[in-house]
Amino acid sequence: MSFVEGKVPARLKLIHGFGAVAFGVKDSGFSFFLLLFYNQVLGMDAGLVSLALLIALVVDAIIDPILGNLSDRTYTRWGRRLPWLYAAPIPLAFAWVVMWSPPGSEAPSFLGLVGIAIVVRVLLSACEVPSVSLLPEITADYDERTTLFRYRYLSGWFGGIVMMMLAYTVFMPGAEGLLQREGYIAFGTFGAILMAVSVLGSALGQHRLVAHLPETKPEPFSLKGAFSEIIEAFSERAFLIFAAGGLAAYVSQGMTFSISNYVNVFVWQFDRIALQLYPIILFLSVVLMFFIVSPMHKHLGKPKSAAVSALVSLGLFLLPYLLLLGGLWPEVGTTLSTGLYFTFLVFANTMGIVVMISASSMIAEIVEAYLERTGRRAEGAFYSGNWLVQKCATGLGIFLTGQIIRMSQLSSDAAPGEVPQEVISDIILMYGGISIVLALIAAYWLGRFPIRREDHEARVAALAARRASQEQEAHSHK
């Protein structure tokens, strides 16, 4: 039974979504800045850094099913999720600070970087998995779930973009820009505070609604049970289809985020003002998404919305690079070049976010399919399964960026405007070619997701009727 029947109050949408700010802070840090910081600022090899981040993501992804299973089996007077949301954010904040100001202000060893990255990611998962697992419990409505995900994505992007804007304008504004070592200390400290405030604030705001004993006491936790449940989740046909498309979409996102600062600085030769405008352009795309994703879901459904958006985003993303290679683009670094690129970027990113929201929202529908088949709710298992797919894929995306930079032979002391043209061309061709393959895979599989609106609504009605019948039978036996 859902916590809310009918329309979800706007206040609850805002409060629930606010918890995703921490995820956005983490995402902008890991995806946009961490590789650049450890490679260009601390001097570590880009291939080694990307490998360390990939290992951390894979370890985190393996731990996620355990966290999801623990969350599903937490049985307290505060419910299943809130204890996690109160316990994890403060340790997360301390670990985040250490990652951006390593001891001695020097590059850590390879294993040291792997270790702190694992700690940060596991603690973030202990916040995010329980938080997002609340969503299908809050409402079973097909469209209201989309709305809740809109607020989560808006908040997540807001957190990430705030950190990007502060990085470009406050923490690292000088002549050295993103190469200022001292700026990353302030970047990490402010991000840590924002993470803790968002998770704790969201938990407190939802406390009255969700803080009560679960309807049924779950089975005790066991490692075998945790992994058998995730295996059972992957046996759901709908989840397998989602995972195939989501894997490609997440690899593409991880690669795009982690390579952004490289292409912005070395390919498009953004000046300081352009770098400061960049996060604003990204946030504009999030605002545009907020207004188009619900109409798209209502008219096309979630699977078709994801497929169409993946293809449109790919076309808009590739065109500037093709024009640049073809000699048909204005001189890079000029106002005309930057403005034109921003125009393509805002719409390409809008459609890319629609893909992600559509895919994430699909998982909520799998919860009821699993409930109908097994009689058990397992939101944590499915969302930890999603994080397993997402984190392995994102790690692979960051790893691909590291290999693209390595194979292009971009030097660790490269200066904008002085990079040989063959290096720029190699970066564009490798990046663009991989992006085409990933977008086509994502569009194909997400478009084949088998649970449509009518299927979900019929299933929710059938489950409600079954529950009413069971309650009536139980009452008649008293």
Q: What is the DSSP string of 384-404?
A: HHHHHHHHHHHHHHHHHHHHH
| CA–CA distance, 263 with 410 (Å, rounded to integer) | 11
User: pLDDT tens across 421-431, in order?
Assistant: 999 999 999 99
Contact of 166 with 30, CB cutoff 8 Å: no
- The region of weakest confidence among 54-58, 161-165, 213-217, 454-458 is 213-217
Q: 347 is written with which tokens? A: 């719409």
Write the DSSP assignment of 52-71 as a string of letters.
HHHHHHHHHHHHHHHHHHHH
The DSSP output letter for 328 is -
pLDDT recorded at residue 174: 64
- Residue 96 C-beta-side C-alpha neighbours within 13 Å: 28
Looking at the structure of the chain, the number of domains it has is 1
- Structure tokens of 370? 């699993």
C-alpha to C-alpha distance for 362 and 374, rounded to whole angstroms: 19
- Across 47-59, b (16+ Cβ under 10 Å) vs e yields ebbbbbbbbbbbb
Tell whether the model's pLDDT for residue 175 goes beyond 70. Answer: no
Q: Tell whether 347 is covered by a domain.
A: yes
Residue 205 domain flag: yes
Say what the pLDDT of residue 424 is.
Answer: 93
* Residue 171 is assigned to a structural domain of this protein: yes
Say if residues 7 and 147 touch (Cβ distance below 8 Å): no
- Tell me the pLDDT band of 258, cut-offs 50, 70 and 90: confident
Residue 475 lies in a domain: no
> What range does the domain containing 33 cover?
10-212+223-469
Q: What is the pLDDT of residues 58-67, one digit of tens each?
A: 888 778 778 8
The pLDDT of residue 31: 75
Q: What is the mean pLDDT of residues 98-120?
A: 88
Express as a percent the part of the chain with pLDDT over 90: 38
Residue 4 lies in a domain: no
- Is residue 476 in a domain? no
The CATH number covering residue 27 comes to 1.20.1250.20
What Å distances lie between residue 199 and 106, 136, 215, 379, CA to CA?
31, 18, 25, 19
**Which of 104, 115, 120, 282 lies closest to 188, judged by CA?**
120
Contact criterion met (CB below 8 Å) for 296 and 305: yes
Tokens of 419: 């990079």
Q: Which residue has the higher pLDDT, 174 or 178?
A: 178
Residue whose structure tokens are 């893909």:
355
- Residue 477 placed within a domain: no
Question: For the stretch 432-457, what's the b/e string if a residue is b when 16 or more beta carbons lie within 10 angstroms of its beta carbon?
Answer: eebbeebbebbbebbbebebeeeebe
- Is residue 5 domain-resident? no
Q: Is the pLDDT of residue 437 over 80?
A: yes
pLDDT score, position 372: 80
Tell me: pLDDT of 477 over 70: no
Q: How far apart are CA 131 and CA 17, in angstroms?
A: 9
> If DSSP codes are grouped into helix, strand and coil, which group holds residue 377?
coil
Cβ pair 345, 319 in contact under 8 A: no
Q: The tokens 């619900």 sit on which residue?
A: 294
**Could you tell me what percent of the chain has a pLDDT over 70?**
95
Instruction: Give 7-45 pLDDT, tens digit per residue.
Output: 888 899 999 999 999 989 998 888 778 888 888 888 888
In 3D space, the residue among 175, 193, 172 whose CA is nearest the CA of residue 32 turns out to be 172
Torsion angles phi and psi, residue 108, rounded to 5: -75, 175
